[in-house]
């Protein structure tokens, strides 16, 4: 029915572009998840190896690093639809 309207083919083309754009969000979220997981693992391993392993003393620093990375990942997730 939309193709019968004067600008129907443009509407259908725009709809297809929007659907394709939304379908690309999932792979971008996966790539972002991988990057942030690797960055967080690297930061935590640097903190653990520099202090001689996990302990009560360095647990707060490791937790803060993980929370910072989670906040950064959350912020970057809001940027994916803008790409």
How much is the average pLDDT of 15-42? 94
| Residue 15 structure tokens | 């709809």
For 32-75, write each residue's pLDDT tens digit: 999 999 999 998 888 888 878 888 888 888 888 899 999 999 99
Note whether 32 and 73 are within 8 A (CB): yes
Report helix, strand and coil shares of the chain as percent, to nearest 5: 90, 0, 10
Q: Is the pLDDT of residue 2 over 70?
A: no
| Residue 8 structure tokens | 């129907």
How much is the average pLDDT of 14-37? 94
């Amino acid at each position: 029915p939309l193709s019968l309207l004067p600008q129907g083919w443009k509407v259908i083309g725009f709809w297809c572009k929007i659907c394709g754009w939304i379908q690309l969000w999932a792979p971008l979220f996966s790539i972002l998840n991988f990057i942030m997981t690797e960055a967080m693992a690297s930061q935590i391993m640097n903190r653990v190896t520099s202090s001689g392993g996990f302990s009560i003393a360095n647990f707060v620093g490791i937790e803060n690093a993980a929370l910072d990375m989670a906040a950064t990942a959350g912020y970057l997730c809001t940027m994916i639809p803008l790409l």
